[in-house]
Structure 1
Amino acid sequence: MARTREFDTEAAVNRAMELFWSRGYEATSVRDLTQHLGIGQGSLYAAFGDKDGLYRAALEHYRATLAAAALRSLEEGVDARSAIRTMLVERIRIAAEDNGRGCLVVNAACERLPEDAATRRTVRDTQDASREALTEVLRVAVERGELAARHDPHTLAAFLVTFLNGLLVSSKVTPDPRTLEPLVEVALAALD
């Protein structure tokens, strides 16, 4: 007879996400995870396979919650420039928290891509979703006359995603939103 899982896997994934986000993959041991989650090593392996499985679950959780919320905020903007500014500033604020923990997806790209094809797919999918959401916002802005028709929405979106990635890495070095937020205005000048 199989044992019933004695912990909430969704809560465990959320707590693991926080730990990986603040420490990184390499600096987080299985022992750290079991202590932080309050579960045994056998339970961790039964639920997630191994540390890599839990890490991928944490990345997917990040993508489905925080990254998705950032994209939804684009849809709520009055105009494209304001929506993009709000999204970028909010991402800076979140990345600078906890002494500059950055963005879990960007951290994963910097730390894990050469070793882990599954992480590469998650990072790529997250980046693609960001670029597609920005492309749509910019396409609509061109249609409404907010942006000049000479702008290619896809290219601008790719630039903004690349800019955001660099900004999120910078937030780990300089975890001060007041220092980083003025850079958003420089990036938004590309929309002129």
Structure 2
Amino acid sequence: MARTREFDIDQAVDRAMDLFWRRGYAETSLQDLLKELSIGSGSFYAAFGSKEQLYLRTLDRYASLQGGDLETVLDEETEIRTAVRKILDTLIEADLTDPTRGCLVVNAATQCADQPSAAGRVNTAIRQVESLLAGALERAQARGELSPDKDPRQLARFLTTFVQGLRVVGRARMGREFVEDALSTALRALD
């Protein structure tokens, strides 16, 4: 008779995500994961298959959470400049508060670029941000907030790239003045 699982998979994925986020993929051992999740190796393998498979699940979870947050702000704010500013301000504050954390997607891009599965998750997460921004920019253009000569897809790609760079600069602890100057310049792209 099979034993019933005695832990919550979603909570375990969230805890593993936090551990990978703090320590990085390579620096997180299977023993670290077992300790963090308070489970044995048999339960771990039955639930997740491998460290890499769990890592991929955490990347999916992170992208889902971040995408949901981004979509919420883009849908709630009535003006595109306000929405973009709010998104970027939130990232800046997060990085100033805890610069060691950064962005899990950026961390994966820099730490796991040679792992095709992780690189694919990074690509998917970045494309999701681009798509959400492009949709919001298209809607803003239709409302007359964005000049007709602006290409929403190109602007979305610029802002997506800016977001990723902002996260890297945050980890480098460049400080508020540096990122605020860059933010002001980035927002002028919407003029």
Question: What TM-score bracket applies, with the shorter chain setting the length?
Answer: over 0.9
TM-score by length of 2: 0.93
Q: Tell whether the 8 Å contact from 1:70 to 1:91 is kept in structure 2 after alignment.
A: no
Over the matched positions of the two proteins, sequence identity in percent amounts to: 42
TM-score by length of 1: 0.92
Q: Tell whether the 8 Å contact from 1:138 to 1:157 is kept in structure 2 after alignment.
A: yes
Closer, same or farther in 2 for the Cα pair 1:177/1:38, shift >3 Å? farther
Q: What residue is the counterpart of 2:102 in the other structure?
A: 102
Q: Deviations over 1:74-132 (max 9, x none)?
A: 111120011011111112223444343111011111111212x2212221111111111
In structure 1, distance between residues paired with 2:101 and 2:14: 16
Q: Tell whether the 8 Å contact from 1:106 to 1:165 is kept in structure 2 after alignment.
A: yes
Higher mean displacement: 39-48 or 152-161? 39-48
Aligned pair count reads: 191
User: What SS does the corresponding residue of 2:98 show, helix, strand or coil?
Assistant: helix
* RMSD over equivalenced CA pairs, Å: 1.6
Closer, same or farther in 2 for the Cα pair 1:102/1:69, shift >3 Å? same
In structure 2, distance between residues paired with 1:142 and 1:5: 50
Q: What residue is the counterpart of 1:41 in the other structure?
A: 41
Q: Tell whether the 8 Å contact from 2:99 to 2:172 is kept in structure 1 after alignment.
A: no
**CA displacement at 1:177 relative to structure 2:** 4.9
Structure 1 unaligned residues grouped into runs of 5+: none
Asked whether 1:183 is paired with 2:186, we answer no
Letter in 1 for 2:62: Y
Higher mean displacement: 138-147 or 102-111? 138-147
Letter in 1 for 2:6: E
Give runs of ≥4 in structure 1 deviating > 4 Å.
Answer: 175-179
In structure 1, distance between residues paired with 2:19 and 2:175: 21
In structure 1, distance between residues paired with 2:96 and 2:123: 23
In structure 1, distance between residues paired with 2:33 and 2:178: 34
In structure 2, distance between residues paired with 1:23 and 1:139: 38
Letter in 1 for 2:121: T
In structure 2, distance between residues paired with 1:5 and 1:146: 52
Q: Tell whether the 8 Å contact from 2:15 to 2:37 is kept in structure 1 after alignment.
A: yes
Closer, same or farther in 2 for the Cα pair 1:140/1:67, shift >3 Å? closer
Q: What residue is the counterpart of 1:132 in the other structure?
A: 131
In structure 1, distance between residues paired with 2:135 and 2:80: 10
